[in-house]
């Protein structure tokens, strides 16, 4: 009953968000500008408290997430952890990234710093990877519709990232970022392994015995998965105390079976084509990002994910309409 009520409140939040985004109409820029300024001010406050361990945890996330890497501060501001903060801010960050890349920003360097520095300090590999992949896919698909300015900034960003990566590699080869990347590809990273392989492994094990179609139902993961990891996987300690599936699509599979997972995918694709999301660069890239990210993290009642879907399917963002970008190129 508690979990079903939580799902119901998530639906209320989703439709309220859709209504709120529609009310904005062409005021999306003003709303996002206020958010980016507030985020910058909070980031400065976070930097001020960083040297003080007593206050640091208010805005920084220091829990170890990978073997051989001690806990170090990652930006979370007022969110409960870094990945959630990065996901919350992605619609705003992407909006201003595209404004810079399409030549619509009067102060591109300042905007890039306001977006890139906090996102980099969050060190959310899942969000960063999904965002980069979405930007690359969008750039390839609309290569004939985007101006030379867009690709110039795209090239600048790629070159800066490459140079920075090489400098860090030669000056600090054993830094936590590269160590974690190595752990991810070797399968030793606990966070990546938990969000990817373990999430779908748990989900399938929960539903494979006569529950493949409809799943185990809301609220049952914390009960059945607890028994599963103790009896089947023989986990112990803190891993056996709190059980959750930190992956939106894997949790959907476990809770509502293949019926729920396929139904969610169907509606996402249906509204993608019904609302012609592909006619707007911002909404298209944000859709690709969120579609990828739901297979790597989040959870079914995550308001950051639901709010992003509301923006994708309701925001106008006319300045990024493909037809307008074609006219600018001409």
Q: Give the tens place of pLDDT for each residue, 157-204.
A: 889 888 988 888 788 777 777 788 878 877 777 778 778 888 898 888
Provide the CB-side half-sphere exposure for 141 (13 A, CA): 14
pLDDT at residue number 214: 92
Cβ–Cβ < 8 Å for 302, 248: yes
Nearest CA to 199 among 87, 290, 297, 81?
A: 297
Radius of gyration for the chain, computed over Cα atoms and rounded to the nearest angstrom:
21
What is the average per-residue pLDDT within 147-161?
A: 87
Mean pLDDT score, 92-113? 92
pLDDT band at 72 (very low <50, low <70, confident <90, very high): confident
Q: Name the residue among 247, 170, 252 with its Cα closest to residue 217.
A: 252
Closest by CA to 248, choosing from 110, 84, 38, 78, is 84
Q: What angle do CA 321, 98, 116 make, to 5 degrees?
A: 160
**Cα 292 to Cα 301: distance, rounded to the nearest angstrom:** 17
Which regions of 3-157 does DSSP assign to beta strands (E)?
60-61, 74-75
The tokens describing 198, both together, are 């373990």
Average pLDDT over residues 116-127: 91
Structure token digits, residue 38: 């507030």
Cβ atoms 90, 289 nearer than 8 A: yes
- pTM, whole model, 2 decimals? 0.92
Token pair belonging to 305 = 């994910």
């Amino acid at each position: 009953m508690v979990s079903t009520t939580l799902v119901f409140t998530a639906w209320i939040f989703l439709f309220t968000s859709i209504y709120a985004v529609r009310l904005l109409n062409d005021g999306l820029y003003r709303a996002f500008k206020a958010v980016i300024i507030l985020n910058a001010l909070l980031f400065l406050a976070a930097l001020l408290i960083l040297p003080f361990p007593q206050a640091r945890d208010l805005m920084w996330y220091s829990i170890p997430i990978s073997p051989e890497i001690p806990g170090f501060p990652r930006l979370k501001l007022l969110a409960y952890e870094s990945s959630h903060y990065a996901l919350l801010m992605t619609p705003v960050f992407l909006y201003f990234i595209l404004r810079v890349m399409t030549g619509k920003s009067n102060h591109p360097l300042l905007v890039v710093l306001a977006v890139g520095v906090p996102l980099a300090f969050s060190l959310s590999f899942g969000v960063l990877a999904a965002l980069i992949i979405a930007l690359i896919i969008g750039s390839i698909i609309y290569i004939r519709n985007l101006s030379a300015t867009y690709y110039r900034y795209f090239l600048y960003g790629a070159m800066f990232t490459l140079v920075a990566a090489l400098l860090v590699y030669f000056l600090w080869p054993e830094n936590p970022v590269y160590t974690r990347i190595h752990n991810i590809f070797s399968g030793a990273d606990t966070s990546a392994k938990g969000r990817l392989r373990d999430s779908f492994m748990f989900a399938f094990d929960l539903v494979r015995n006569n529950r493949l179609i409809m799943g185990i139902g809301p609220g049952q993961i914390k009960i059945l998965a607890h028994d599963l990891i103790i009896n089947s996987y023989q986990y112990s300690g803190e891993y056996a105390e709190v059980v959750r599936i930190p992956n939106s699509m894997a949790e959907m599979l476990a809770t509502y079976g293949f019926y729920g997972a396929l139904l969610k995918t169907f509606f996402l694709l249906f509204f993608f084509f019904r609302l012609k999301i592909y006619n707007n660069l911002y909404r298209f890239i944000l859709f690709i990002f969120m579609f990828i990210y739901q297979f790597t993290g989040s959870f079914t009642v995550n308001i950051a994910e639901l709010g992003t879907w509301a923006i994708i399917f309701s925001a106008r963002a006319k300045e990024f309409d493909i037809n307008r970008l074609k006219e600018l190129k001409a």
